[in-house]
Structure 1
Amino acid sequence: MSTQPIDPRKGMYMIADTPRGLWRLRAGALLATAVVLGTGLVATPSQASPSTVDCAALAAAGDNFAELCLDGTAMDDAGATLAPDEISSSPNIRQVANIPKQGTFDALTALNSDIAFQDGYAYAGNYNGFMVYDVRNPKRPKIVTQVLCPGSQNDITVYGNLLFLSTDTSRNDDSCNSTTQSATIKESWEGIKIFDISNKSAPRYIKSVETNCGSHTHTLVPSADRRTAYLYVSSYSPNATFPDCQPPHDLISIVKVPLRNPTSAALIGTPNLFPDGGFPGSPTGSATTGCHDITAYPAKRIAAGACMGDGILMDIADPEAPRVISRVRDTTNFAFWHSATFNQSGDKVIFTDELGGGGAPTCNPTIGPNRGADAIYDIHGRGDNRTLEFKSYYKIPRTNANTENCVAHNGSLVPVLGRDIMVQAWYQGGISVFDFTDSAHPVEIGYWERGPLSDTQAITGGSWSAYWYNGFVFSNDIQKGLDVLEVNDWRVWTAKLNRIGTLNTQSQPWYWGPPGF
């Protein structure tokens, strides 16, 4: 959640449209120990009062619904029944392992983030760095190493012997010993960090590349000859007072990494995806000032961009020159286009709406089933004539407590044959597995959920990412660490036969495609 102080004497914070990213924290904003008032206000428990903020200003910021400028207790959570840390699940899902956060990562403000996989190892981001786990035996995962390198949100990918991290908080330099520094200072740094992971127990930091407005997320697109990795860097929310993040910012940054000489990695382009400026924003929807995340499907030469107020479909046949070929908006129910997932055949795409920036209780009857949800689109046509047709929304059917942040977040396909099934994180709403083969009528087939971290105050937590990898679901829980889940259901049995070496979920693999893809 992006924050700026309202009154430093009171320790109050509210959303603004100038800092970058709904999760971007300015120094001193103790998000994880604060009570969230709707989507726009963060305060200490003793100071929680919606009367202390200008709700009209929050709506004008363009990245939250005005009606969410409420005390969290105004949401209807009568249907929330779980006690703190109580486990609830469908009969077909069970937890088989957990590794709690460790050392300097074991702090409320050290949020766990995304996960990447390679050859039986999981690489898990954290706002303070990243973890390496040995998950070759998923029921007995082991810690290999913990790398301290602060710079949220440390979005992570791996390819060959390289690991890439996104830094989207302004730092005083590009080192792993850096400290926070205002983005108004020209010398401040944000962007991509590159590590050599040839020795998994001792990763080496070898290169950095600065990018405009930092790197909130990045997507790895390999070249056809596998000699080059392209990173599509997503960032947003420019500010005229930020020398390295000037408006307009209707672009992504492309970093080219020669795999045989990764220290020569460089920024090669900043293609403008929205020549018309994108969605201008509304009281219920974010203005487009960049993209939040891009999911590439290299085997199909397409990518989907979740770009704040717009959803886009791109042709990436030339990875150095992505082209927008279709665009959609949802001005009724979507607040913030957050991420995307294709089905295996590439004729459907799911976009997520991160209503409230991941910090609000949106899984309740007050918000309803169509906001903070997934939107499922069919893809019609070929080539540049492809279009997106909305089919339905999907949202978990359970009510969460007002102390629980809950909204659609990161997930992956479950690689079954003949059907379209996805597993997805919903923060403290837990993990949901659903079938969207009939894109107009998605159906949940399983879930796993912890009760709230607290029943008296809102603490940011829950599953950031939940991905299927080689027969199991791996979830990076913001506060509880790495969870491993097993799904036993006839509808996913073919997925358990699938084995894949590398998985960067936003570089979507063709699970059952020909060798080489």
Structure 2
Amino acid sequence: MSVVVGSASATPPAEKPETPSNSPVVAQQSVDREVSHSDNIEHLANLPKQPPFNNVGAYGTDIAFQGKHAFVGNYDGFVVYDINKPESPKVVSQVACPGGQGDVSISGKLLFVSTDYPRTNDTCDSEETDAADPNGWEGMKIFDVSNPEKPRYLSSVRTDCGSHTHTLAPAKQGNDVYLYVSSYAPSAEFPNCQPPHDKISIIKVPGNNPAEPELIDAPVIFPDGGNPGSPSTSATTGCHDITAFPSKDIAAGACMGDGVIFDISDREKPRVVEQVRDDENFAFWHSATFNNTGTKVVFTDELGGGGAATCNDETGPLKGADAIYDLSADNELSFASYFKIPRNQEDSENCVAHNGSLIPVPGKDIMVQAWYQGGVSVWDFTDSANPQEIAYFDRSPFSSDLQIAGSWSAYYYNGHIYSSGIQEGLDVLKLNDPRTDPAEKVKFREFNPQTQPVYRD
């Protein structure tokens, strides 16, 4: 394992010009791109990607939080940031461990990292290999980050089709944790990723022996087959992402052509209890977020796979958007409305609904969300049928031609919004709005956005 320890710190944004209320604020940033944002959101800091991740192929991805640290995935490994002073984040350590995606979650001293590209072995010194290689390795890696300055590789588990994303579900008793591994894109030519792959993988990590994780099951969750697909909708061959709501023993699955609700009361035997489709407007069910009471689910549609310019008049407001569903006590989903950012983007900007989290405002349903080069949006879906954007942060295009960039994940954690940029590094934002100010009283010691905690409502 190659660990690069650094002490790089953030460059604060340029001073804001005076602006009238409700008009965009424009400033030049450390990543040399113009920024516009609503007047109720402040750009505190940007910390660009540091070597060896300062290249266009080293995509910044998801984020997990613990105490004063943010753990940010990268296609080439992961980065540990000190966010004790949000206005001045610092790199604590970087782990070079290539494998694609780099989805992360944290539990105690353990950091879980997804590997989604076939490698010659499970070490961080492995090389890329072809998916047709029967000896290729993909799956989950586990690191000990009890000393954030020196992460230590503990163990790994191989999973079919690798791990595109994963979701942490704590055991109902004791300190064991379960990982629900989502992966897809099977092919008859791939010996370790055979169709139909209508399943997820379940890993158990013993709390008293995390060096010995176990793949305990790979249940078929669509025994009758998922969505067969159409010219405009992906066929279901597994799930893209799962969000757990442990307090209610449920999870929401965004499964390519299907949106589902799981019963996870038995952590080792999740089962689908509700399934919906939207073949008219949803191309690829990508991710899900519950509201705080578990009575709504926001599903995202990653139209174009995150690499297309879909925030424009040609695509319209219903595709590449969020879909808000009300969730009954019997776990039935009822469609309420769509939400999409109201600002058109350039044809050179990849833009579509992506990862976000709730802003913990008691009695309200408000979330922050990444939209790739569409920036960061804060929106209110308290009225399921009439969602409204209330704040935004948006950079000018990364390039004059279409290249993959922008905010991969944008999450609220202990008073601030943190955005992981594919090319932009870490951005820190501050909301200044009476509608969201109550969220500052809510603090978490640990936060995995795909394992939703409940705050006092």
Q: Shorter-chain TM-score: what band?
A: over 0.9
1:366 corresponds to: 314
Rounded to whole Å, the distance in 2 between the matches of 1:215 and 1:414 is 28
Aligned pairs for 1:326-345 within 5 A: 326-345=274-293
Residues 1:425 and 2:370 are matched in the alignment: yes
Match of 1:506 in 2: 450
Q: Secondary structure of the residue that 2:254 maps to in structure 1?
A: strand
Partner of residue 406, structure 1: 351
Give the ranges of 4+ consecutive aligned residues of structure 1 lying more than 2 Å apart after TM superposition.
Answer: 81-84
Q: Could you tell me which amino acid in structure 2 is paired with residue 106 of structure 1?
A: N
From 445, 466, 469, the counterpart of 2:410: 466
Q: What are the equivalent positions in structure 2 for 1:435-450 lying under 5 Å apart?
A: 435-450=380-395
Q: For residue 211 of structure 2, give the secondary structure of its aligned residue in structure 1.
A: helix
Deviations for 1:313-341, whole angstroms, at most 9, x for unmatched residues? 01111110011110000010000000000
- 1:240 counterpart residue number: 188
- Residue 283 (structure 1) aligned with residue 228 (structure 2): no
Amino acid at match of 1:290: G
Inter-partner Cα distance in structure 2 for 1:302 and 1:224: 12
Deviation at 1:226, TM superposition (A): 4.0
3-state DSSP of counterpart to 2:81 = strand
**Matches of 2:264 and 2:439, distance apart in 1:** 28
Q: How many residues align?
A: 429
1:281 deviation in Å? 0.3
Q: Which residue identity lines up with residue 157 of structure 2 in the other structure? A: V
Q: Quick check: which one's helix share is greater? A: 1
Match status 1:260 vs 2:208: yes
Structure 1: give runs of 5+ residues left out of the alignment.
1-80
One-letter code of the match for 2:329? G
TM-score between both structures, scaled by the size of structure 1: 0.82
2:33 and 2:282 mapped to 1: Cα distance? Answer: 30
What amino acid sits opposite 1:232 in the alignment? Y
Residues 226 and 132 of structure 1: CA distance in aligned 2, closer, same or farther (over 3 Å): farther
| 1:349 correspondence with 2:297 | yes
Quickly say closer, same or farther: Cα 1:328–1:479, change in 2 above 3 A: same
Q: Shift of residue 183 of structure 1?
A: 1.2
Higher relative contact order (CA 8 A, sep 6+): 1
Matched AA of 2:196 = P
Corresponding residue of 1:379: 327
Match of 2:71 among 111, 123, 128: 123
For the residues of structure 1 that align with 2:343 and 2:235, how far apart are their CA atoms? Answer: 30
Aligned to 1:70: none
Distance 2:338 2:27 in 1: 25
Amino acid in structure 1 at the alignment position of 2:326: D
Q: What does residue 120 of structure 2 align with?
A: 172
The superposition leaves residues 472-503 of structure 1 with CA deviations (integer Å, 9 ceiling, x where unpaired) of 00000111100000000001111011100111
Q: TM-score, structure 2 length as denominator?
A: 0.93
Q: What is the CA–CA distance in structure 1 between the aligned matches of 2:68 and 2:387, rounded to whole Å?
A: 31
Task: Name 2:431's counterpart in structure 1.
Answer: 487
- Could you say which residue in structure 2 is the equivalent of 1:13? none
| 8 Å Cα contact 1:500-1:511 kept in structure 2 | no
Gaps of 5+ in 2: 1-25
Of residues 434, 448, 465, the one that matches 2:379 is 434
1:58-457 correspondence runs (5 A): 85-382=33-330, 386-454=331-399, 456-457=400-401
Over residues 218-256 of structure 1, what are the superposed CA-to-partner deviations in whole Å (9 max), with x where a residue is unaligned?
000001224111000000111111111111200000000
Per the alignment, residue 440 of structure 2 pairs with 496
Aligned positions of 1:4-23 closer than 5 A: none
Q: Any conservation in 2 of the 1:171–1:180 contact (CA below 8 Å)?
A: yes
Distance 1:324 1:350 in 2: 18
Q: CA deviation at 1:82?
A: 11
Note if contact 1:82-1:451 (Cα within 8 Å) is conserved in structure 2: no
Distance 2:61 2:137 in 1: 21
TM-superposed deviation, 1:120: 1.4
Structure 1 distance, partners of 2:175, 2:391, is 40
Percent identical pairs in the alignment equals: 59
Deviation for aligned residue 1:85: 1.4
| d(CA) in 1 for partners of 2:250, 2:228 | 26
1:82/1:372 CA distance change after superposition, 3 Å: farther
1:113–1:126: 8 Å Cα contact kept in structure 2?
yes
Amino acid at match of 1:255: I
Is the 1:121–1:134 Cα contact (8 Å) retained in structure 2? yes
**1:62 alignment partner in structure 2:** none
Alpha-carbon distance in structure 1 between the residues aligned to 2:297 and 2:92:
35
RMSD of aligned Cα (Å): 1.2
- 1:154–1:165 CA contact under 8 A, matched in 2: yes
